[in-house]
Amino acid sequence: MKIARSLFRGSLIAYTALFFAFIYVPLALIAVYSFNANPVNMMTWTGFTTEWYAQVLGFKTTVSENALYIESTGQLLEAVWNSLLIAFSTTAIATVFGTGLAIALHRFSFWGDRLYRTFLFMPMLMPDIVLGIALLIFFVNSGIGLGVTTIIIGQCTFLISYVFIVVSARLAGMDRTLEHASADLGANEWTTFRRVVLPQLLPGIVGGALLAFIISMDDLVITYFIAGVDVTTLPMFIFAMLRRGIKPEINAIAVMMLSFSFVIASLGLYLRSRQK
């Protein structure tokens, strides 16, 4: 019996180690090779440099004078600006609508509410390529020009669902005793919502907003279909670079995006701990 337990425990530890290695070792390699000074073959280490980051940020470098892969730093910065604009816009819209839907479906029952919940889950369950083609057909048939507006509308169609799920999970664990006490003490519905309900919901709202922001910054497939020809986001820019081969700048951009996502996730965990 003890031998079986030891084997099971060892197998579980080995599986856990392999699982995390499978996820994080490639990310670590990207981070390491982003400092490789070799301008031709990024897999051959020739020295340490930070100039790939400087080149991505638009500074003049010496290590990449013979291998300027980024056609225009202005294009990269424009892609970053477009991604941030879209991410902030979709996060704000999805957070408001997703939170409102979660509260409404949690507090009120009506005919067809279960079917409505099912429809809210559909954008997440649907393959990205199917949703992207469907949105493209809708915008073209509606006569709406493809661009930043269509990207924001398209991303909101599925980001609202993510916010809805996170806030609904928070609502499921809330105790309504404080709301009843607030009403007994003479507070109206708006005051109760602002002083009692909203502070309890805030961790879920922040978590849903940060999740929506990260997904929006990372979205490629759906955005690719509804972006048009005049708008490029950061994932689309990186994908275009990858089609011409893996360049050293791609590693630097990937590490910067990973760092940004880590900061956003850490901020969310910090705010949740502060709220508790």
**Does one domain contain both 44 and 111?**
no
**Does one domain contain both 136 and 46?**
no
The reply to whether 65 falls in a domain is: no
**Does one domain contain both 30 and 153?**
no
**CA 250/CA 31 separation, integer angstroms:** 11
**Does one domain contain both 83 and 208?**
yes
The reply to whether 241 falls in a domain is: yes
**Does one domain contain both 191 and 219?**
yes
Residue of 48, 17, 55 whose CA lies nearest to 31: 48
**Does one domain contain both 37 and 77?**
no
CATH code of the domain in which 146 resides: 1.10.3720.10
**Does one domain contain both 171 and 233?**
yes
Tell me which long-range contacts 43-52 makes (C-beta under 8 A, separation of at least 24). 52/248, 52/249, 52/251, 52/252
The reply to whether 7 falls in a domain is: yes
Residue of 106, 111, 58, 78 whose CA lies nearest to 249: 58
The reply to whether 276 falls in a domain is: no
The reply to whether 129 falls in a domain is: yes
Tell me the CB-side half-sphere exposure of residue 266, using CA atoms within 13 A: 6
Q: In 57-127, which ranges are continuous DSSP H helix?
A: 73-107, 113-125
**Does one domain contain both 94 and 39?**
no
Q: What crossing angle do the helices spanning 73-107 and 198-218 adopt, rounded to 10°?
A: 140
Confidence (pLDDT) at 57: 72
**Does one domain contain both 19 and 116?**
no
What is the full per-residue pLDDT of the chain (276 aa) written as tens digits? 677 777 778 888 888 889 888 888 888 888 888 888 777 666 777 778 877 787 777 676 665 555 545 555 667 778 888 998 999 999 999 999 999 888 888 877 777 777 877 888 888 888 888 999 999 999 989 888 888 899 999 999 999 999 998 888 888 777 777 766 777 677 777 777 777 777 778 888 888 888 899 889 888 889 999 988 888 888 888 888 777 666 677 788 888 878 877 887 777 667 666 555
The reply to whether 50 falls in a domain is: yes
- Is this model's pTM higher than 0.75 or not? yes
Task: Name the domain count of the chain.
Answer: 2
**Does one domain contain both 144 and 16?**
no
Domain interval for residue 35: 2-56
**Does one domain contain both 199 and 130?**
yes
Confidence (pLDDT) at 274: 58
The reply to whether 250 falls in a domain is: no
Of the residues 31, 56, 81, the one at which a domain ends? 56
Confidence (pLDDT) at 64: 53
Confidence (pLDDT) at 90: 95
User: What are the residues whose beta carbons fall under 8 Å from the beta carbon of 33, sequence distance 6 or more?
Assistant: 42, 43, 45, 248, 251
The reply to whether 175 falls in a domain is: yes
**Does one domain contain both 98 and 32?**
no
